[in-house]
């Protein structure tokens, strides 16, 4: 992928859709306000990892190109409850109209980044890296994967176009792991090749054929450790990824078995928004 996940055109597309959804023919409540110059502040009400600044900024600038936004924290910063993240100066109507959409982006992406950071911390020092999946909110794939990076995670493939990933249905259609790998190499020789296996026999077959990563799906602990040993002893070992049945409590034990990656759909699928608010006026004085 040549452009960053937060490329301006991509952010603008996300924001345009979201504002159109919320505003429709016009914000009939904000129209009641005098459109005077005003200020506002963005408050984080819980401990969190900050993420979503490009989307927040784009929401406000789409409605008031002259709005001034001063950020007090960087993207990916860990902040405590009560932190003022940003202050804004602009037209009152635009500040109020952009409020909900800008918060929706910040709350959702900060939630993804915060959850990712918790999972990354759980495997710290093991060498295992945390991966996301394609289990994202429709229309927010790139934004959520950006948030995973902000939380210290690593992106899996962005979509169906940038890596070949052979799963159970592909293997069944091809007839075997070997046949599926051979077909993938013929048709897409330049793309990364990831193979999901469900047994140790399939693991050996994938190793013998050669691939860029092997996903061991829903292995129990003993079988997972066998897989690590078999892989290490092979002439052409491949990075091992664990997927399926993974939760935060069991993450450390999986990492300590020696796998290279753990992919977790919950990072982007089970999103709990961070509690943020945007209030008109000056922020309260500290203390």
Q: Residues 64, 75, 217, 241: which is the catalytic one?
A: 217
Total number of residues shown for the chain? 287
Q: Is 134 flagged in the annotation as binding?
A: yes
User: Is there a catalytic annotation at residue 279?
Assistant: no
Three-class DSSP labels, the chain = CCCCCCCHHHHHHHHHHHHHHHHCCCCCCHHHCCCCEEEEEEEECCCEECCCHHHHHHHHHHHCCCCEEEECCCCCCEECCCEEEEEEEEEHHHHHHHHHHHHHHHHHHHHHHHHHHHHHHHCCCCCCEEECCCCCCCCCHHHHHHHHHHCCCECCCCCCCCCEEECHHHHHHHCCHHHHHHHHHHHCCCCCEEEEECCHHHHHHHHHHCCCEEEEECCCHHHHHHHHHHHHHCCCCCCEEEECCCCHHHHHHHHHCCCCEEECCHHHHCCCCCCEEEEECCCCCCC
45 part of the active site: no
Which residue in 22, 61, 89, 100 is the catalytic one? 100
Residue 14 bears catalytic tag: no
The reply to whether 217 belongs to the active site is: yes
243 annotated as a binding-site residue: yes
From 135, 225, 252, 279, active-site residue = 135
Q: Is 214 annotated as a binding residue?
A: no
265 is in an annotated binding site: yes
Closest CA to 204 of 231, 169, 174: 231
186 is in an annotated binding site: no
Nearest partner of 240 among 258, 223, 222, 252, judged by Cα: 258
User: Is 229 labelled a binding residue?
Assistant: no
Query: Is 145 labeled as ligand-binding?
Result: no
Q: Give 215's strand partners.
A: 196, 241
Residues 46, 77, 89, 167: which is the catalytic one? 167
Q: Annotated binding residue at 245? A: yes
Active site residue 196: yes
Binding residues for substrate: 100, 133-135, 157, 167, 196, 217, 243-245, 264-266
Which positions are catalytic?
100, 135, 167, 196, 217
Binding residues: 100, 133-135, 157, 167, 196, 217, 243-245, 264-266
């Amino acid at each position: 992928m040549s452009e960053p996940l937060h490329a301006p055109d991509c952010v603008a597309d996300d924001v345009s859709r979201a504002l159109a959804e919320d505003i429709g023919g016009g914000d009939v409540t904000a129209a009641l306000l005098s459109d005077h110059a005003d200020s506002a502040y963005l408050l984080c009400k819980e401990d969190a990892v900050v993420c979503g600044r490009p989307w927040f900024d784009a929401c406000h600038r789409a409605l008031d190109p002259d709005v001034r936004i001063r950020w007090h924290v960087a993207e990916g910063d860990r902040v405590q409850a009560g932190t003022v993240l940003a202050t804004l100066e602009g037209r009152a109507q635009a500040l109020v109209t952009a409020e909900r959409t800008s918060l929706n982006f910040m709350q959702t992406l900060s939630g993804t980044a915060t959850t990712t950071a918790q999972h990354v911390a759980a495997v710290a020092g093991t060498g295992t890296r945390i991966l996301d999946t394609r289990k994202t909110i429709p229309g927010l794939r790139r934004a959520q994967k950006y948030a995973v990076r902000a939380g210290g995670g690593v992106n899996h493939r962005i979509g169906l176009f940038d890596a070949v990933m052979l799963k159970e249905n592909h293997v069944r259609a091809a007839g075997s792991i070997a046949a599926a790998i051979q077909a993938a190499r013929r048709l897409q020789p330049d793309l990364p090749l990831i193979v999901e296996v469900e047994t140790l026999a399939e693991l050996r077959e994938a190793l013998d054929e050669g691939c860029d990563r092997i996903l061991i799906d829903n292995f129990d602990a003993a079988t997972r450790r066998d897989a690590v040993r078999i892989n290490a002893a092979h002439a052409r070992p491949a990075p091992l990824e664990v997927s399926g049945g993974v939760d935060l409590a069991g993450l450390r034990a999986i990492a300590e078995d020696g796998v290279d990656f753990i992919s977790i759909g919950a990072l982007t699928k089970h999103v709990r928004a961070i509690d943020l608010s945007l209030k008109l006026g000056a922020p309260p004085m500290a203390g």
